[in-house]
Amino acid sequence: MIADLNDKIVSLSKRRGFVFPSSEIYGGAGSTWDFGPLGVELKNNVKRAWWRAMVQLREDVVGIDAAILMHPRVWEASGHVENFTDPLVECANCKKRYRLDELSEGAGGPCPNCGLKKLGEPRRFNLMFKTFVGPVEDSASIAWLRPETAQGIFVNFENVQQSMRRRLPFGIAQIGKSFRNEITPGNFIFRSREFEQMEMQYFCRPAEAPRLYDEWMATRREWFRRLAGHDELFRFREHGDDERAHYAARAFDIEFQFPFGWKELEGIHNRTDFDLRRHSEFSGKDLRYFDDATNERFIPYVVETAVGADRATFAFMCAAYDEEPDKEGIRTVLRLHRDLAPYKVAVLPLSKKPELSELARRVWADLRPEFMTTYDETQAIGRRYRRQDEIGTPLCVTVDFDSLTDQQVTIRDRDDMSQVRVGIPELLPALREKLRA
Cα(41)–Cα(430) distance, integer angstroms = 23
- State which residue, 74 or 395, has the beta carbon closest to ligand ATP: 74
CB of 324 to ligand ATP, least distance (A): 30
Site membership for ligand ATP, residue 88 (CB under 6 A): no
Cα(302)–Cα(210) distance, integer angstroms = 10
Cα(73)–Cα(406) distance, integer angstroms = 70
State the DSSP code for 272: E
The stretch near ligand ATP (CB under 6 A) out of 117-125, 202-210, 224-232, 304-312 is: 304-312
Which secondary-structure segment (H or E) carries 254?
strand 250-258
Cα(63)–Cα(178) distance, integer angstroms = 17
Site membership for ligand ATP, residue 265 (CB under 6 A): yes
CB of 380 to ligand ATP, least distance (A): 40
Instruction: Look at residue 436 and give its three-state secondary structure.
Output: helix
CB of 285 to ligand ATP, least distance (A): 25
- State which residue, 81 or 360, has the beta carbon closest to ligand ATP: 81
CB 174 within 8 A of CB 151: no
- State which residue, 80 or 387, has the beta carbon closest to ligand ATP: 80
Site membership for ligand ATP, residue 270 (CB under 6 A): no
Q: Which of 41, 90, 275, 310 binds ligand ATP (CB under 6 A)?
A: 310
Q: Is the dihedral of CA 232, 234, 238, 240 positive or negative?
A: positive
CB of 244 to ligand ATP, least distance (A): 10
CB 370 within 8 A of CB 344: no
CB of 151 to ligand ATP, least distance (A): 12
Binding map of ligand ATP across residues 152-181, x = CB under 6 A, - = no contact = ----------------------------x-
CB of 436 to ligand ATP, least distance (A): 30
- State which residue, 278 or 311, has the beta carbon closest to ligand ATP: 311
- State which residue, 197 or 388, has the beta carbon closest to ligand ATP: 197
- Residue 391 carries which side chain, given as an amino acid letter? I
C-alpha closest to that of 431 among 320, 356, 343, 349: 343
Cα(190)–Cα(183) distance, integer angstroms = 14
Q: Binding residues for ligand ATP, how many (CB under 6 A)?
A: 16
- Count of beta carbons in the 10 Å neighbourhood of residue 427: 19
CB of 306 to ligand ATP, least distance (A): 4
CB of 309 to ligand ATP, least distance (A): 8
- State which residue, 182 or 366, has the beta carbon closest to ligand ATP: 182
Site membership for ligand ATP, residue 182 (CB under 6 A): yes
Q: Which of 122, 259, 267, 349 binds ligand ATP (CB under 6 A)?
A: 267
Cα 321 → chain centroid = 17
Cα(248)–Cα(207) distance, integer angstroms = 16
Residue spans of beta strands (DSSP E) within 134-220: 142-144, 170-179, 194-204
Binding map of ligand ATP across residues 183-222, x = CB under 6 A, - = no contact = --------xx--x-x-------------------------
The answer, yes or no, to whether the previous bond of 349 is cis (omega within 30 of 0) is no
The stretch near ligand ATP (CB under 6 A) out of 258-266, 280-288, 329-337, 381-389 is: 258-266
The stretch near ligand ATP (CB under 6 A) out of 96-104, 260-268, 328-336, 393-401 is: 260-268
The stretch near ligand ATP (CB under 6 A) out of 1-9, 34-42, 308-316, 321-329 is: 308-316
CB of 196 to ligand ATP, least distance (A): 8
Cα(40)–Cα(371) distance, integer angstroms = 15
- Please report, to the nearest 10 degrees, the dihedral formed by the alpha carbons of residues 131, 137, 143, 145 taken in order: -10
Secondary structure (DSSP) of 284-341: ----PEEETTTTEEEPPEEEEEEEEHHHHHHHHHHHHEEEEEETTEEEEEE---TTT-
Task: Determine the Cα angle at 96 with ends 91 and 102, to 5°.
Answer: 85
**Within 362-391, which residues bind ligand ATP (CB under 6 A)?**
none
Cα(50)–Cα(67) distance, integer angstroms = 20
The stretch near ligand ATP (CB under 6 A) out of 15-23, 302-310, 326-334, 351-359 is: 302-310
Q: Which of 43, 80, 279, 311 binds ligand ATP (CB under 6 A)?
A: 311
Q: Which residues contact ligand ATP (rule: CB under 6 A)? A: 148, 180, 182, 191-192, 195, 197, 264-267, 306-308, 310-311
